[in-house]
Structure formats: structure tokens, C-alpha cells
Amino acid sequence: MAYHDDLLAQALQLIRVTPPSQLTLRRAVSAAYYAVFHYLIAEATSNWNNIPLRTALGRAYDHGTMKTASNRILNPKDFPYTGEDPVVVINLRFVAQTFSQLQENRHFADYNLTKDLDPVEALTQVKSAEKIFNTLPTIRGEQISQACLVSLLVKRV
């Protein structure tokens, strides 16, 4: 199994621990984010023909740049997707929006101890990460999806 698959499996396992503790809920939310983070990088770097260097290329990805790119993908002015299949666009925007939200949720889970995580909300977050794993394969071959994967690495496409 790939690293991102292991992280998602860990998140799903942690979210089902009974009774849930704040530790397991927080680790589940964090693992879910990192699963998606590494999954998007793996998808993007899979286009690199030099397989031994894919991991090194993956190290160039940055959380902030990826979030900025994801938020840009949601903006119809930056990415109007004129003439594109509306279902692909909806799925692509779902991936972008969910990645951005998962990053915010991960920051809260890892750094904000002033408020407990709600178990139902944590489960929703983990399930949204799982949904990305089910959605991205249906659109990965589309040119707009590939452009968006590139945009996760570069400042502007």
C-alpha cells in the first residue's frame, strides 16, 4: 500500500476507536489531511517519467502553496472551465474545497486545544478525505485535473 493509503486507513481506524478520546479524534483528523496531501502529491508526481526521482519532486510541494492553489481553483475568475464537463468541474472543485477545509481542520486539531473536537464532525472530516480518494480517480485523466495538479506546485499556471 502507498503511504497515503496507509494514512487514510489509519484515520479510518482512529475515528472508530470507542470510546473516542480527543487524542484519537485529533490524530484521525490530522491523518486524514496528510493522507489527502500525500495523495495529491502522488497523483501529480506520477506524471514525472523519472520514477526514482518522484519522491524528491514530491518534497517540493508546500502546504501553503497547495492551499492557495486549491482556493484559486474554486474561483471562477481564475479557473472558469469554459466548455468543460460540468460533472468534472464539480468533482474537481470538491477536491479543491475539501483539501483546503481539511488543512484548516488539521490546524485546529493539532494546535487548538481550547475546544474539544466533536466526534461526529471529526468523522465527517475523515469521510470527506475518503471521498477524495474515491472522486479523484474518476477525473484524473482530464486535462483540467492535470492542470490543477500542476498548479499545486507552481505559484501560477
Residue among 140, 65, 76 nearest 99 (CA): 65
Give the pLDDT of residue 79.
Answer: 85
Query: How do residues 8-21 score in pLDDT, each as one tens digit?
Result: 999 999 999 999 99
156: pLDDT confidence band, cut at 50, 70 and 90? Answer: low
**Topology at the third CATH level for domain 3-151:** Four Helix Bundle (Hemerythrin (Met), subunit A) (1.20.120)
Q: What is the pLDDT of residues 101-119, one digit of tens each?
A: 999 999 999 999 999 999 9
**Cα 48 from Cα 57, distance rounded (Å):** 9
